[in-house]
Structure 1
Amino acid sequence: MKKALLVDDHPVIRAAVRLVLEREGFKHFYEASSVGEALSILREHAVDLVVLDLVMPGGDGLELLGRIKASDWLCLVLVFTSLDPLFFQERCMRAGAMAYVAKTNDLNQLQKAAHAVMANYTFFVRLPSVSQDPRQRSEKEMIDKLSNRELTILRYLAQGMSNKAIAELMHLSHKTVSTYKTRLIEKLGVNAAVHLRDFAVRNHLI
């Protein structure tokens, strides 16, 4: 009996994913709306497939991917998210995901991905070539050089979260988050923290 864990903070999305997976023969489902809930379920139950959103309260999907890869859990991961594959698909591949489907696609793509993954194939989209605009190309290169944690903190800062809120969410010290912010300003070549949001919006990171 195939079992799946659906990790998404939107109940409607989880319900839609469940219907798709039922057509692929899944009979048993666990659901989590946060990284913490997902980890608790994975520690207690064996699942065949994890369908994972990257954007959730209480943690980051990339972090969960890394935890799964480092564990001995024998589950496959299909990323189903609103984030642009141009910046996140390759990271997910490196972190062990078997498939990446953007939520802008219809659910047939999700079903095709689930079918491929359960047959032990990968399912990733063909990415467009990077724009020849020198600024866009150089910004893509800068983003690619960020660590997963740097990218996560950049997204939180761009969403207007305070250092204190980010520190609590990611279980870091306030000083550590402040150091990351300074490092991001330097690495991305912006003049001040306020411009991090402009950078993130321009590159579809939020």
Structure 2
Amino acid sequence: MASPAVDDYLKTIYHRTEWQDERITPSQLASELGLAPSSVTEMVQKLAAQGLVSHRPYGPVALTEKGHRRAAAIIRRHRLIETWLVREFGYAWDEVHDEAEVLEHAISDRLLEGIDERLGRPRFDPHGDAIPDAAGHVDREPFVLLADAAPGHVGRVLRVSDRDPDILRAVESAGVTVGARVVVTDPATLHLDDVVATLPPGAATTIWLTA
């Protein structure tokens, strides 16, 4: 079962509950992966047989401890590579995802360790996503999605989703970066010091702040 396809399933399941608690269903998994529901059902059954996920018919899919360790390992690779590409090769944060998708399956454990050491063992990637350590553990502060933040909320930008490169570029153009301290006026408007940042449509569901 060691294959990029399996890793893609496990990563998708892992991502689902990183920033919210609702588990992913097989139909949502099929939509995320762009696959037929029947294909996903068959693969989920195989993953369950391998002890990588737990699942009951028509219910959500969850990673087992074994599945979580494997998902965290491949996500660690992906996020370290993204960080490496930004820091060492001058990639923009909206350009690294697709490159990392390819390289995460190609580099050796030795090279990955060298990258981690060279980068100073970073805890977060350029988008603010936590990089699991070698044991699969992550550190993450309490957070709130911008769309759910009350007017007047003060916090730091913890994460900007890399799902939509156009939104990433627009958010960056507005001056909003990971680590920036902001005050929420409404889901489309943030204050950064004396600057008012107007966000593009959809950005409020891609930005997470300290709670």
Structure ranking higher in helix proportion? 1
TM-score with structure 2 setting the length = 0.29
